[in-house]
Amino acid sequence: MRNHIRFIRKGQIVELSDVSPTETLLDYLRLRERSCGTKEGCAEGDCGACTVAVGRLRAGRIVYEPINSCIALLGMMDGLEIVTVDDLAPSDEHLHPVQSALVSAHASQCGFCTPGFVMSLFALYHSRQRADRSLVNDWLAGNLCRCTGYRPIADAALAACTGEPDDAFSRRSAKTHALLESLIDDHDIRIGDDESFFAAPASEDALVSLLERHKDATIVGGATDVGLWITKQLRSLPQIVHTGRVASMHEVIVDDDRIEIGGAVTYAEAEAALARIDPDIEELLRRLGSKQVRSLGTIGGNIANGSPIGDSPPWLIVLGAQVELRRGDARRRLPLEDFFIDYGRQDRALGEILLRIVVPRPAANEHFRCYKISKRFDQDISAVLGAFLFRIEKGRVVHARMALGGMAAIPKRAFHVEGALVGCEIDDPDARARAMDLAAKEWERDFSPIDDHRASAAYRLQVSHSLLTKALNEVADRPTSDMRLIDRRDLHRIEIGDLNNSHDSHPNAMDPGSPR
């Protein structure tokens, strides 16, 4: 048991034993360290002014990821290197390459957002990718600038991020590597007393037994939601149990027929594996929150807190995902679609932990599509998220699954609509139109969208119909429009050569030349 956390700052190991459970990393930096370069613009993880980079070892290499320090808990920083804007330049004459590029491009007007942009670009710089505009958009989706219109910032990113990091951090990577390795241990962390504590157990058993004793404790994955309970809702959360140190919950297993994602795996960690299922999932994940959110946010957390507007449940449900839960020694597995009971209510007991998610991969004759509809392309909550899977035999839909997010109190399957689709001759436009007519009649038995500030019920209904039409037409290889709802369906960004499993039947899916 450790009663302190350790992390790396400016090449040194920092040990802290006074960590309040809900203290944010930003407060630590600004109030305790007085490193005021990092800014607070919203305290909600939306604007990115507070972006810092965290370094960690992944597959034996140091990886830097941008995070929103305003909603990250200080306790979660155990074992990481924290890099802030104040750390990059030893002197004005030796600015970091991304800093120099930003200065030369005149990319600051007021400069308040600049520290966050510097750190997002620092992480991009270390990603070893050569930046193009599309990559820059992805990496900057979580940073708002109201002055510049982004052009000079994008110019600076393109100039600096050449794919070959050569800076003080890359030059001292061996030392940092050794320091990061020295921080790895299998001790449970517990700071505080029984009333108020931050805990980060290192094993599943320790986690489970801690939660048996403290059933009301708040379980935290990446804190991208819980962080807002603290900073925005001002909730008092005296007992925090962080899942991030449980080794077994960090596994990602890729098998021929399924992918298993540990309950503490972040979106960033799962992206590559999940992208193998389908390019639409890769696209969707690219638009889920921002880099900062995906660096900390966990898929397990997204499911476990049961938000009706989470971006992952619909497509996981359609793929037939199961969740594995544990409380004490009792383990159980259930289909994800049964996990959501009602608004804010999940089939999870107090103190029960979501261990992993098992995602079956579609068979060769199963065709998957998913689309995200939001008012803003990046960094927005879905108005509607549609996921579809059609099993097609001899040109006929023999099995259909469809789930929509944003259309009911919980993400749920559309059993009645699905029934109306079975039997549809997929290549016959008239048959598809008839199936749509049948499906439309069933729609309101499955869905009851609400009017709220994100979208009206009418818009949600209208768009959800369009999505099904689009999915059917696309599976029939008749794209309805040049522009995809979630960008164009292309595969060239997938790095792993794993494309032949389920997509070789879609010529339209194989257009590496299509622009993004």
Partner 1 sequence: MKGEADSAVDRSKAKDGPAGGSETGGEKGDTPTRWIGTRPVRPDGVDKVTGRARFGADVHLPNMLVGKVLRSPHAHARIRSIDASAASALPGVKAVITRDDFEDRPSEFVPAGEMLVNYRDMVRNVMAREKALYEGHAVAAVAAVNERIARQALSMIRVAYEPLAHVIDVDEAMAPDAPLVHEDLITAGVEPPPTAPSNIAKRIEFVHGDVSKGFAAADIVVERSFRTCPVHQGYIEPHACVASFSEDGQADLWCSTQGHFVVRGHCAKLLGMEVSKLRVIASEIGGGFGGKTVVYLEPLALMLSRKSGHPVKMAMTREEIFRATGPAPGTHIRVKVGMRNDGRIVAGEAELKYQAGAFQGSPVQAGCMCAFAPYDIEHVKVIGHDVVVNRPKAAAYRAPGAPQSEFAVESVIDEMARKIGMDPLQLRLANAAKEGVKAAYGPTFGPIGLVETLEAARDHPHYRAPLAPGQGRGIASGFWFNIGGQTCATLNLGEDGTVALVAGTPDIGGSRASLCLQAAETLGVDATRIRPRIGDTATLGYTFLTGGSRTTFASGMAVIEAANDMIRQLRKRAAMIWDIDADAVRWVDGEARPAGANAGEFTPLSLAEIAGSAGKTGGPIVGRAQINAQGAGPGFGTHLVDVDVDRETGRVSILRYTVIQDAGRAVHPDYVEGQLQGGAVQGIGWALNEEYIYDDRGRLQNPGFLDYRIPVCSDVPMIDTVIVEVPNPSHPYGVRGVGETPIVPPMAAIANAINDALGIRFTDLPISPPKVLKSLREIG
As a three-state string, the secondary structure of 465-483 is HHHHHHHHHHHCCCCCCCC
Cα separation, 423 vs 125, in Å, equals: 51
**Residue 103 or residue 440: which is nearer to partner 1 going by CB?**
103
Q: Is 129 within 8 Å of 88 (Cβ atoms)?
A: no
* 247 DSSP assignment: G
Closer to partner 1 by Cβ: residue 51 or 502: 51
Residue 102 interacting with partner 1 (CB under 8 A): yes
Residue 513 near partner 1 by CB under 8 A: no
- Per DSSP bridges, beta strands 218-220 and 239-242 are parallel
Q: Shortest distance, CB of residue 145 to partner 1, whole angstroms?
A: 7
Cβ-contact 158, 136 below 8 angstroms: yes
Tell which positions 443-472 bind partner 1, by CB under 8 A: 452-456, 458-459, 462-463, 466, 470
Among 14, 62, 112, 173, binds partner 1 (CB under 8 A): 112
Please identify which residue in 149, 163, 328, 344 interacts with partner 1, judged by CB under 8 A.
149
Contact pick of 106, 175, 332, 445 for partner 1 (by CB under 8 A): 106
Element of type H or E holding 435: helix 429-446
In whole angstroms, how close is the CB of 295 to partner 1 at the nearest point?
Answer: 17
Site for partner 1 in 177-236 (CB under 8 A): 232, 234
Phi, psi of 36 (to 5 degrees): -90, 5
Reported residue count of the chain is 516
Residue among 152 and 313 whose Cβ is closer to partner 1: 152
For CA atoms 84, 21, 139, 31, the dihedral sign is: negative
**Residue with smaller CB distance to partner 1, 348 or 470:** 470
Q: Residue 163 CB, nearest distance to partner 1 (Å)? A: 18
Binding mask 477-506 for partner 1 (x = CB under 8 A): ---xx-x-x---------------------
Kindly state the smallest distance separating residue 377's Cβ from partner 1, in Å.
5
Q: What is the largest CA-CA distance in the chain?
A: 70
For residue 253, report the phi and psi dihedrals to the nearest 5 degrees: -115, 125
Segment near partner 1 (CB under 8 A); pick from 3-11, 144-152, 213-221, 398-406: 144-152
Comparison of 184 and 433: residue with beta carbon closer to partner 1: 433
Q: Which of 129, 137, 173, 196 binds partner 1 (CB under 8 A)?
A: 137
Q: Which of 23, 78, 81, 155 binds partner 1 (CB under 8 A)?
A: 155
* Residue among 420, 443, 441, 446 nearest 431 (CA): 420
Site for partner 1 in 17-56 (CB under 8 A): 34-44, 46-47, 49
350 phi, psi to nearest 5 deg: -55, 135
Distance of CA 49 to the CA centre of its chain: 19
85 counts as binding partner 1 under rule CB under 8 A: yes
Please report how close the Cβ of residue 10 comes to partner 1 at its closest, in angstroms. 13
Site pattern 346..385 for partner 1 (x: CB under 8 A): ---------------------------x-xxxxxxx----
Give the residue among 130, 25, 4, 143 at the shortest CA–CA distance from 84: 25
**CA 182, CA 510: separation in Å to the nearest integer?**
45
Q: Closest approach of Cβ 105 to partner 1, in Å?
A: 8
Which of 86, 427, 442, 498 touches partner 1 by CB under 8 A? 86
Q: Which of 412, 407, 472 is nearest to 437 (CA)?
A: 472
Asked if 168 and 146 touch (Cβ cutoff 8 Å), the reply is no
In the set 17, 134, 182, 448, which binds partner 1 (CB under 8 A)?
A: 134
Region for 89 from its dihedrals, namely left if φ exceeds 0, alpha if ψ lies in -120 to 50, beta otherwise: beta
Closer to partner 1 by CB, 233 or 505: give it: 233
What is the distance between the alpha carbons of residues 361 and 150, in angstroms, rounded to a whole number?
A: 39
**What's the DSSP call for residue 248?**
G
Query: Binder to partner 1 among 24, 68, 69, 84 (CB under 8 A)?
Result: 84
- The owner of tokens 């839960």 is 325
Q: How many residues bind partner 1 (CB under 8 A)?
A: 83
Indicate the residue among 444 and 451 with the shorter CB distance to partner 1. 451
Residue 30 gets which letter from DSSP?
I
